[in-house]
A = this chain, B = another copy of it.
Amino acid sequence: MSRRFPFLHVDLPEWIDILCPSGAVYPDFTVRMNLVIELARRNVAAGTGGPFGAGVFDPASGEMVAAGVNLVVPGRAAILHAETIALALAGQVRGTFDLTGLELVSSVEPCAMCLGAVPWSGVSRLVCGARHEDACAIGFDEGDKPDEWQLSLANRGIEVVLDVRRTEAIAVLAAYVEAGGVVYNGRGREQ
């Protein structure tokens, strides 16, 4: 363990445990989306981070393997998006980086970084709520993705489902702006 450089330690906020009890079953991806949108909403309400929630689920059992919420500002790290956290924590639960057969559900279509993380993780399905343009509309710079990104995932055997509870997911983005949340971006371009 390095003494020259700090470590990175990422913990989910305590309030998550109430929302995501052990053993709960979420039988389809619409129900799972309801949960991750609620994670995003609570993250804003509790002031613990940005308006994005995600979860890795086992579609066979309907159970949640790991949750994620945006922790960029409190965690002091640009990489701490809901999806990257959910994927990393699912790896800790499973004891391997390889999440083959699992499903990633995200309250907003993944940004360029999180989209790039999807094939590495091995998940078999990506389910999205709000769209890229909905996040951009409130000022986030989601980055440039390949034009054919859905085809790119499909070619890797990853199914993509869009617009699940999109309206509800957009409402969380709007609530964040109304609450005066920081729309951070690189280069200090806060708006």
- What bracket does the count of chain A residues touching chain B fall in? 35 or more
Q: How far is the CB of A86 from chain B (nearest CB, A)?
A: 9
Asked, given contacts A76-B97, A91-B78, whether A20 binds B4 with beta carbons under 8 Å apart, the answer is yes
What are the residues of chain B within 8 A of A186 when measuring CB–CB?
Answer: 98-100, 118-123, 156
17 sampled A-B residue pairs with Cβ under 8 A: A1-B11, A1-B12, A1-B13, A5-B17, A7-B12, A8-B89, A75-B91, A76-B95, A77-B91, A98-B184, A113-B116, A119-B141, A123-B186, A143-B152, A144-B149, A145-B146, A156-B186
What are the residues of chain B within 8 A of A93 when measuring CB–CB?
Answer: 5-6
Q: Which of A26-34, A65-73, A159-167, A170-178 forms part of the interface with chain B?
A: A65-73
Taking a contact as CB atoms under 8 Å apart, the answer to whether A79 and B79 are in contact is yes
How many copies of the chain does the oligomer comprise? 2
Taking a contact as CB atoms under 8 Å apart, the answer to whether A117 and B79 are in contact is yes
- Contact flags A111-129 to B (C-beta < 8 A → 1, else 0): 1111111111111100000
Interface centre among A89, A96, A144 (most CB of B within 10 A): A144
Asked, given contacts A144-B146, A186-B98, whether A117 binds B78 with beta carbons under 8 Å apart, the answer is yes
What are the residues of chain B within 8 A of A9 when measuring CB–CB?
Answer: 7-10
What are the residues of chain B within 8 A of A98 when measuring CB–CB?
Answer: 78, 184, 186-188
What are the residues of chain B within 8 A of A95 when measuring CB–CB?
Answer: 76
Taking a contact as CB atoms under 8 Å apart, the answer to whether A122 and B187 are in contact is yes
- Contact flags A128-158 to B (C-beta < 8 A → 1, else 0): 0000000000000101111111001000110
Asked, given contacts A4-B17, A12-B5, whether A78 binds B89 with beta carbons under 8 Å apart, the answer is no
Closest B residue to A152 by CB, please name it: B144
What are the residues of chain B within 8 A of A148 when measuring CB–CB?
Answer: 144
Docked Cα-Cα span, A76 to B91, in Å, equals 5
